[in-house]
A and B are shown apart, each in its own frame.
Chain A
């Protein structure tokens, strides 16, 4: 990317109102009008690592789950895994491990369903240039009531699991140092068993829909922000897709192995983060490759690209089809995130079905003890990608330092680059069109960053785009408000 920006024109895409934090996209044009740089500026999670300092370590799973309203369970469990190490527990009781896995499958399922049905399906079903007021979940409900309802119910089922195990649909209490606090009552398990029978076919249909929508316009699907990159994720020791545990695997863009079965606790020898003065979100990179070249992608696409197989049959079949239809050998199109996400959603449903048949969920053998230490690292695959929690505690049992690398952060560079690709392909002349604004949003949203979740649940993400030229100043701007109405200069 170019550094000399003084001769270049700048377009700023600015969310005007946001629930938490502010974001802004600036596009930088060279003299030929090509987009040479895109910057997504995000205020996110700033100060959390500082805020938790001094708190007793056992509070961490409850403190850090407040980081996120969409995937709190992933934060809860990442912190719990770190604390298991602090209390010296290497192996959880089988019951505790199964409860944690079930809880996390519920989390990933609900987050993926939310993303696909609420955020992605309106664009995919109606097209990117359809009337904006219809392009939301309410529009989907109106046009495809059965489909939308199934989506809502899949999500609700994920939340039911979370509530059954942690007491609340959001920000409950489940994981404790070295285990879990409560078993499931057999009556609760049997209720969930009844529900999963309905969810399984719906998850299969949702995946089929995602696939069809992705393949409906093959040129668009393959070409939209196609970004050959490295992929990072956890995998099981046998190479299987893994959401709760496992070791790190990185594949190069050509599918070859960059690193495999790397101990996630040594993550700081593999990954570093660079701060840049224009964004609050850091840029993680592979140390050996340096900050410019060392970026990678995480999340559903990374996991499905990285694993050797998915350990449940229907999802595995879908993975094979996904790679056969669009992998070369890996899939790099940014819209493929949606398809991969729904493959994972089906995997979650299948895995939940299996786990619910396990009587150990009701066992009271829930907590283990060990030899205390002063450091813990918990790594987990959150819905949006690999999540790192690293804590050191002092001799008073209070948090001394904390380092959190959240999933969206790992996709930081990729989101910028995807926006640049899309903008470069679609920008013409000196005006920002509603279509361009939309496509920029679509590119960001494919990654399912917390940014869009916070703002886009029902309406549209409010954006303002400004086109600047250093010599002439403001050339043109376009503003889209929360209802999706455009106002132009």
Chain B
């Protein structure tokens, strides 16, 4: 690593950073945690989910897009941020169909884990019950758009890690939806393969595999036994090189 070592205060703890690092990168490198959904250490920054909002002075800034500054006072674990994050999560749940009891990612899902972490019990927003198109045309990968939170991780992973261009987001506002870049718009007609990073990094159960599901019993899955602020975001067994290995 190059650059001058500097530090900022994160909930009263000094976090060292290298110049050019975002608050998010510095905190994760330092073993801390800021809630996030659209950020992934191996990918370019998207800054769309706003879960990573922190308070610097009297301003709310997204930690993944804000460069760390020497001497900054960053607040993370405060009740007003908890309330804002909770609202964002509730909106995400209301916008999709997140039927956790049958979802393959339940117990390993970052959206669900954050909801547990923030103590969400229900959504204060009217449930939308969307009926977006599911895509089961691919031999091994299944897409349920009603569970997609438009984080664009798969979009970026396909372009930046896989050297492909399988996904894109299109539409505006509440009509935004994940599109497949193939002639008929179906996953089965793309060059996506099961080992692609884009097929393995979805933080929720929107992009899942068709085989090998439910390998673990409830109570044995990652977020059944850990809270996400302890472990960080992780999709066990499929994350390589992104987040550090989980030390037991």
Residues of A within 8 A of B (CB): 54-56, 58-59, 62-63, 66, 166-168, 171-174, 176-177, 181-182, 394-398
Contacts and interface: CB of A to CB of B under 8 A. Distances in A.
B134 A171 contact: no
B103 interface: yes
A386 to B, nearest CB: 24
A176 B217 CA distance: 11
A58 B217 contact: no
A167 B218 contact: yes
Contacts of B211: 177
B180 to A, nearest CB: 13
B213 A176 contact: yes
A18 B217 CA distance: 32
A76 B172 CA distance: 40
Contact of A63 (B102, B142, B215, B216): B102
Contacts of B220: 167
A398 B144 CA distance: 11
A20 B197 CA distance: 44
Given A58-B104, A66-B101, A181 B214 contact: yes
Nearest to A51: B99
Interface string B121-135: 000000000000011
Contacts of A174: 217
Nearest to A52: B102
Given A168-B219, A181-B214, A396 B137 contact: yes
Nearest to A62: B102
A171 B99 CA distance: 14
Contacts of A171: 101
A283 B215 CA distance: 39
B45 to A, nearest CB: 32
A100 B216 CA distance: 16
B30 interface: no
Contacts of B102: 55, 59, 62-63
B127 to A, nearest CB: 15
A397 B142 contact: yes
16 contacts: A56-B142, A56-B210, A58-B214, A59-B103, A63-B99, A63-B101, A66-B101, A167-B216, A167-B217, A168-B217, A172-B217, A172-B218, A176-B213, A176-B214, A396-B136, A398-B136
Contact of A396 (B103, B134, B219): B134
Contacts of B104: 58-59
A55 B134 CA distance: 9
B214 A396 contact: no
A58 B209 CA distance: 10
B142 A173 contact: no
B137 A166 contact: no
A177 B104 CA distance: 13
A87 B105 CA distance: 21
Contacts, number: 62
B217 A182 contact: yes
A270 B111 CA distance: 47
Closest 10 CB pairs of A and B: A167-B217, A396-B136, A62-B102, A59-B102, A167-B218, A397-B136, A63-B102, A173-B214, A167-B219, A168-B218
Interface centre among A56, A63, A176 (most CB of B within 10 A): A56
A55 B214 CA distance: 16
B215 A56 contact: no
Interface centre among B103, B213, B217 (most CB of A within 10 A): B217
Given A397-B210, A398-B134, 7 more contacts: A59-B104, A62-B102, A63-B102, A66-B101, A173-B218, A176-B214, A398-B136
A181 B142 contact: no
B96 to A, nearest CB: 14
Nearest to B212: A176
Contact of B217 (A166, A394, A397): A166
A66 B136 CA distance: 24
Interface in B123-161: 134-137, 142, 144
B232 to A, nearest CB: 24
Contacts of B217: 166-168, 172-174, 181-182
A62 B106 CA distance: 11
Contacts of B137: 395-396
A62 B219 CA distance: 15
Contacts of A54: 134
Nearest to A172: B218
A191 B102 CA distance: 30
Contacts of A167: 216-220
A397 B138 CA distance: 10
A181 B221 CA distance: 13
Contacts of B103: 59
Contacts of B210: 56, 58, 397
Contacts of A176: 213-215
B99 to A, nearest CB: 8
A350 B188 CA distance: 50
A209 B215 CA distance: 43
Interface in B69-113: 99, 101-104
A54 B135 CA distance: 10
Contacts of B142: 56, 397
B218 A396 contact: no
A58 B218 contact: no
A182 B216 CA distance: 7
A55 B101 CA distance: 13
A66 B102 CA distance: 9
A368 to B, nearest CB: 13
A251 B220 CA distance: 46
Interface centre among A62, A66, A174, A176 (most CB of B within 10 A): A62
A277 to B, nearest CB: 29
